[in-house]
């Protein structure tokens, strides 16, 4: 399942960098596209603003098919404070922009599965694919406006995984 999770994240990261190269995050001294995986980072007291945070919620396996299929529930959370020049009063507009970016980077709803154990990553035989996201309601937390989107990510388990 790790190959599917890595392939999904890297696909979204690449798509975001192409769509909006200005959406970045500085973590541990490195400037990266503004999407991160919660389980691969140090714990946050509060999620960073204007960044997509991907988290894995649950995993299931369907063993009744010729090849085992993994289904993983994914949630992407994001929030914004708005800009200083508008005193944060533009946070609704910025949240809408992030909604649109997330919808755009999730399409198409598939990507090749790669193994990131080597450099460059090795292509595997199957694809990773996912459902359309279900966007939750906007949530206010003090000066931040945020939202989450949930969907299922699927991948066939290949030999040796």
Whether residue 100 is contained in a domain is answered as yes
pLDDT greater than 90 at residue 159: no
CA–CA distance, 98 with 50 (Å, rounded to integer): 8
Structural domain harbouring 63: 2-156
Q: How confident is the model at residue 22 (pLDDT cuts 50, 70, 90)?
A: very high
**pLDDT digit string, tens, across residues 74-124:** 999 999 998 888 877 889 999 999 999 999 999 999 999 999 998 999 999
Asked, for residue 112, whether it belongs to a domain, the answer is yes
Would residue 130 count as lying in a domain?
Answer: yes
Domain-located, residue 98: yes
Question: Could you tell me the CATH number of the domain that includes residue 87?
Answer: 3.30.2000
- Residue 124, in any domain of the structure: yes
- The region that residue 27 occupies, defined by phi over 0 for left and psi between -120 and 50 for alpha, beta otherwise, is beta
Q: What is the pLDDT of residue 83?
A: 83
pLDDT at 96: 97
Residue 120 lies in a domain: yes
Going from the C-alpha of 96 to that of each of 36, 60, 91, 137, the distances in angstroms are: 20, 32, 9, 12
- pLDDT of 23 strictly over 80: yes
> Bridge partners of 52?
35
Q: What is the pLDDT of residue 65?
A: 65
Identify whether 73 is part of a domain: yes
Number of domains in the chain: 1
161 located within any domain: no
Q: 54 phi and psi, to 5 degrees?
A: -95, 130
pLDDT tens-digit map of 44-77: 888 889 999 999 998 887 766 677 889 999 999 9
């Amino acid at each position: 399942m790790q190959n599917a999770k890595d392939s999904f994240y890297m696909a979204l990261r690449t798509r975001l960098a192409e769509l909006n190269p200005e959406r970045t995050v500085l973590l541990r001294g490195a400037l990266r596209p503004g999407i991160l995986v919660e389980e691969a980072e140090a714990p946050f007291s509060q999620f960073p603003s204007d960044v997509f945070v991907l988290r894995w919620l649950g995993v299931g396996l369907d063993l009744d098919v010729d090849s085992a299929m993994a289904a993983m529930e994914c949630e992407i959370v994001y929030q914004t404070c708005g800009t200083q020049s508008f005193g944060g009063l533009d946070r609704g507009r910025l949240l809408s922009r992030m909604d649109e970016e997330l919808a755009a980077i999730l399409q198409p709803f598939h990507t090749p599965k790669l193994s990131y154990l080597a450099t460059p990553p090795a292509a595997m035989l199957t694809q990773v694919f996912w459902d359309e996201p279900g966007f939750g309601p906007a949530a206010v937390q003090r000066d931040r406006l945020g939202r989450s989107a949930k969907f299922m990510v699927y991948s066939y388990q290949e030999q040796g995984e």
